[in-house]
Amino acid sequence: MSAVQKHDVFQAIADPTRRKILMLLAKQDLSVTAISDQFPITRTAVSKHLRILSESNLVGMTKAGREKIYKLHPETFAEIKDWLSYFDQFWDNKLSMLKFLIEEQEK
Amino acid sequence: MSAVQKHDVFQAIADPTRRKILMLLAKQDLSVTAISDQFPITRTAVSKHLRILSESNLVGMTKAGREKIYKLHPETFAEIKDWLSYFDQFWDNKLSMLKFLIEEQEK
DNA sequence: ACAACAGGAAACCTTTTGGTTACATATCAT
DNA sequence: ATGATATGTAACCAAAAGGTTTCCTGTTGT
């Protein structure tokens, strides 16, 4: 159903530039050049970032003539959410947080 | 209110070992040695991971005699969730996903 | 008092990462 | 056809990341 994930999604979103690229693509689909215009680094560097985002299934690409249009592949964000939901028990438990803050205070 | 964040939280969760440490701490608070017993790497290496998790506010620590007990600091997970929620508009919009999948099919 | 235990710091090493420049390929416009 | 545009690949480089070993500092139990 979904493509094989060649790159770890957590490692993909670790880089600030890649996160900015995702933010840009959240607003609109963009070509490689259009994206790299937004950064002080070379187009080649942006191209590498896009490959990593692509290999972690965070973005998808479609050819349009000589351009390649990148777009958000939102399905994969669910994986991060799933992982985070593991910690919800603590987040929701205000008591454990309060306990922690008190201990912080005392130290 | 909250401590200064010396380390990027996204970069902190990028490492698989650090994610496993967080999973362990989700179950129970643990000392450095107790944590490093769960990994094939040295205690020193685990110690470095804990420093990074600590500096990104994902975990907290309290001294107990000669031991240092690490525990989840769930507050910080909210930051990741906030960032992810930015992409919810796409995730919730099944049409845009369908559109993407059709384009994938056609290519 | 002192041996054993818990943890961190320093110096070092190797691999990965993020970037570059130079070149190659494909498409478009005239 | 051919010059300009869009993108990717290869080779390379510096810095950061993740790991190690070797010490050093506290704390604990006897």
Query: Strands (DSSP E) along A1-86, which ranges?
Result: 30-31, 59-64, 67-72
Alpha-carbon separation of residue A67 from A24, A34, A54, A83, A95 (angstroms): 17, 10, 16, 35, 54
Chain B interface includes A82 (CB < 8 A): no
Say yes or no: Cβ of B47 under 7 A from any atom of strand C.
yes
Lookup: nucleotide whose C1' is closest to A67 CA: D6
Alpha-carbon separation of residue A19 from A41, A72, A87, B9, B99 (angstroms): 15, 12, 22, 13, 23
pLDDT tens for each residue of B34-62: 999 999 999 999 999 999 999 999 999 99
pLDDT tens for each residue of A12-64: 999 999 999 999 999 999 999 999 999 999 999 999 999 999 999 999 999 99
Strands B30-31 and B59-64 turn out to be: unpaired
- Tell me: pLDDT of B64 over 50: yes
Domains identified in chain A, total number: 1
CATH at B70: 1.10.10.10
Distance CA A31, CA A71 (A): 9
Residue A4 lies in a domain: no
- The one-letter amino acid at B85: S
Q: What is the mean pLDDT of chain B?
A: 83
**Residue-range definition of the domain harbouring residue A82:** 9-106
- Tell me: pLDDT of A78 over 90: no
Residue B18 lies in a domain: yes
Backbone angles phi, psi at A92, to 5 degrees: -75, -25
For testing contact with chain A, the best of B4, B10, B102 (most A CBs within 10 A): B10
Residue B28 lies in a domain: yes
- The one-letter amino acid at A102: I
CA dihedral sign of residues A3, A7, A10, A14: negative
> Residue B87 and residue A74: Cβ atoms within 8 Å?
yes
Decide if B70 contacts B34 (C-beta within 8 A). no
Residue A76 lies in a domain: yes
> Residue B26 and residue A75: Cβ atoms within 8 Å?
no
Quick one: which of B103, B90, B4, B16 has its CA closest to B54?
B4
Residue B3 lies in a domain: no
For position A99, what pLDDT does the model report? 47
Distance linking the first and last C-alpha atoms of chain A: 52
Say yes or no: Cβ of A5 under 7 A from any atom of strand D.
no
Q: Which residues pair with B62 in a beta bridge?
A: B69
> Residue B10 and residue A14: Cβ atoms within 8 Å?
yes
Say yes or no: Cβ of B53 under 7 A from any atom of strand D.
no
B101 compared with B51, residue with greater pLDDT: B51
Of B71, B74, B104, nearest to A87 by CB-CB distance is B74
